[in-house]
Structure 1
């Protein structure tokens, strides 16, 4: 036998044996047929946006199911303060000085005019009536009035009464969904969109405790899974390795399923490097932001040196902590004189104590530096230079500049050092949506049957936003997606 014939025969033999092995395995363990459910609308992700979408779809007459991969609602909303930014609600009748146009302009300005103006216009037009809709379903609100621009009197807050405001929003919506008869399927992880050969989305396939199950959606699938901030690989890929040092301020389960599934049908992804940030304690998840913008004290790194302008707002400041320090760690050094400003220091310390977080304290700069583990000599030199500049009226000439108009020297003890790390609250990027909340493909065409809302959608936010915009976006576009998916379901039924 020729050598090449032996090789051919051997390869054939190996292939035949392998094929036989596969056949035997298949015969021994036949593939299970997936169970299947049919609905008008399937919503993926039981957060604020998802619950708003599910409730609206039900009110539009759709047969809707809400899917959640965890054993309870545990997305970003439950970790939030529950602010929703809006104008024109019934709670804001005493503020005729504000209007939708001014609201729109401020949101666009904060984004550096990178946000999709058509989406921002929908938000400005519908957020106020969305607040009223939530209130009609039993959600309590009060208006936080006369805040500094751009918040002004635009922030509606759901009081937590011992829980976070975001948790209160979720609880109220859960009651409304139960009353409406909308089922929530927990421990149901969506892993794959079901689409035809032309990428028309027909449903979503999930892993459940009972095995794989397909949920068919006549009107469409609405992605409300949140962003990808807790997925370190995606953070590295889309934002950069430095951002992986950021502490996740919200849910650890927001891991980018919206992106993984949208990629399957060639969705266009936008603003993927953008996210909302804020300072947070390295452990305990206490928010030091109110203290950091009071005009008292200085911010130093773990070497006891100032490294960032204290007047920066929380988004650039949080990013700077992660970018400008090797360990994403800093401290706010503040003296007892800060309590001259509405007891802001003592209130912060009490709030931290309730949350189980202890701040470092010392009667002198040396003592507080030692308590915090910061080089004493460096911190003493930093404070000495700062105090001298304040007394000479040259604080704005420091490097970095200290730009408060009325700076206060650090001379009144005891002194406190409050740890502050950069934290990621939510990502801004995701599958691009249009004004109907339909996900767009690379050719800027809607992908039939696929919608997105909240942090699972891209196009609304870029760079920064007004406090409460994140929940507001989930409210507005969750309802928009639901209305359009319900219309599509009706049209396909009648076809």
Structure 2
């Protein structure tokens, strides 16, 4: 890809944001729109059109269809689910049935406090309050669709003050998406179209959304840096949406042009946990018709990812509830711990970045022994070893030699960490006493994963209210006929999303959008 080509695409995206800026300064939505109702002929008509087939999109489609509405769901990729399929299947639900079953005390206020701490206090609290009210409804809905969940004590993920995360039986978001897809496809009047790319909104003369232009038979080009105007694959169609459109297109962490515009530290060659179709095209079109941008520059990095595999992979499963919980992470340059392995994602990713910015390729290493892995992760150990993202060593000397860590310092760090667990007080504030940390066994084998932060979740997007209506930056009122849910929205998570709240957010506001449109 030439520098000239990259610059051209950057210019296109800057132009799109410029249009959004004009809308916020007072230009009408119709001024920015490229497609007006009076200028098109509709090929097909539906009550509701949903853009995207992740948690939000499918939940919205289901709820709209259950109301008797004729629903079309469009997906630009060849398979359904987007990032929702490749995540770890964790859903944070305050006051859930398994917390009550296993004696965990929680509250909505505590959940919101945890989210605000991770989000640096810039979260839009009314959206968090809505999640608290509807989180258990969203969980019940997933079960209604056929999702299966582990009947164990809820998991304790970084940044949470209590264990409240429920995990699917297969430890993947596919455990929700696959049954939900079957559920939606069986609903009367509900249709899913793959390889159908949303191109633009169709607007009426009152600045309301009344349809979309799409391309059917679209082929996404994974070699491109972002959504690309030169990709003209597919046949152009125009679809009417009598009740409105629900935007559930997800985030843009795989959009190497747009994410760099927001945060120049994220280079084009930096791997992301997202699927390749997680780009900013649909979001930018919403900005063009006046949707208010919120928190666009806040891009969360996953601190539990590894440079030894592409994308999300298996490392996050082994680190988050295994090596990070009962083991420890060390700076390979000096053999010392450098962070609370159960802090919120931003805190941990920032700590890892300090090391990597000072010394290129000095990837920190997470270390633990067999006892660090909960029973549900034991079947995955061989898979992680076979993929070589996790390595196994008989002694700490072997670990030190493999990663060029000062052996004496590494042994001292292990000893200090174990001593802290015995006392119930950790030097970095890890709540080892509360969750009864196991520590690192005196004898091996030792299991290790190299760590690198990867762009994972984009906090920013369009502003919505508690009814999932998209707010105009021009009028400060809802844009008629436009709703949104999930990662394409902004404000809910503030500066950094608390781990496993995404599934809750997406399902909750997807349901709300489908109920209200």
Pairs within 5 Å for 1:34-433: 36-87=43-94, 94=101, 97-145=105-153, 147-148=155-156, 150=160, 152=162, 154-160=164-170, 164-181=171-188, 182-196=190-204, 198-209=206-217, 211-242=235-266, 246-276=270-300, 277-284=302-309, 285-286=313-314, 287=316, 288-301=319-332, 303=333, 306=336, 308-311=338-341, 313=343, 315=345, 316-326=347-357, 327=360, 330-332=363-365, 334=367, 338-339=369-370, 341=372, 347=378, 350-353=381-384, 356-357=387-388, 359-362=390-393, 367-371=398-402, 374-375=403-404, 379-380=406-407, 382-383=409-410, 386=413, 412=443, 415-433=446-464
Q: Secondary structure at the match of 1:103?
A: helix
Residues 110 and 215 of structure 1: CA distance in aligned 2, closer, same or farther (over 3 Å): same
The Cα shift of 1:177 comes to 1.1
Pairs within 5 Å for 1:448-463: 448-463=480-495
The Cα shift of 1:221 comes to 1.0
Q: Kindly provide the CA deviation profile for residues 211-251 of structure 1, in whole angstroms up to 9, marking residues without a partner as x.
A: 11112111111111110000011221123324656532232
Q: Which has the larger radius of gyration?
A: 1
Q: Kindly provide the CA deviation profile for residues 40-79 of structure 1, in whole angstroms up to 9, marking residues without a partner as x.
A: 1100001111000000001122111000001111411111
Q: Secondary structure at the match of 1:325?
A: helix
Contact 2:331-2:355 at 8 Å conserved across structures? no
Name the counterpart of 1:474: 506
Q: Kindly provide the CA deviation profile for residues 370-414 of structure 1, in whole angstroms up to 9, marking residues without a partner as x.
A: 54xx44xx6336437647977999xxxxxxx66667997997555
Counterpart CA distance in 2 for 1:391 and 1:470 is 33
The Cα shift of 1:479 comes to 1.3
Residues 329 and 64 of structure 1: CA distance in aligned 2, closer, same or farther (over 3 Å): farther
Counterpart CA distance in 1 for 2:146 and 2:502 is 21
Q: Kindly provide the CA deviation profile for residues 417-449 of structure 1, in whole angstroms up to 9, marking residues without a partner as x.
A: 421111232211101111111111224221111
Counterpart CA distance in 1 for 2:414 and 2:136 is 47
The Cα shift of 1:144 comes to 4.4
The Cα shift of 1:111 comes to 2.6
Contact 1:292-1:332 at 8 Å conserved across structures? no
The Cα shift of 1:120 comes to 1.1
Gaps of 5+ in 1: 1-32, 394-400, 486-495
Q: Secondary structure at the match of 1:425?
A: strand
The Cα shift of 1:477 comes to 0.7
Aligned CA RMSD, in angstroms, stands at 3.7
Counterpart CA distance in 2 for 1:169 and 1:392 is 41
Aligned pair count reads: 440
Residues 158 and 362 of structure 1: CA distance in aligned 2, closer, same or farther (over 3 Å): closer
Gaps of 5+ in 2: 1-39, 218-233, 421-426
Residues 146 and 476 of structure 1: CA distance in aligned 2, closer, same or farther (over 3 Å): closer
Contact 1:69-1:187 at 8 Å conserved across structures? yes
After alignment, is 465-474 or 185-194 more displaced? 465-474
Contact 1:299-1:330 at 8 Å conserved across structures? no
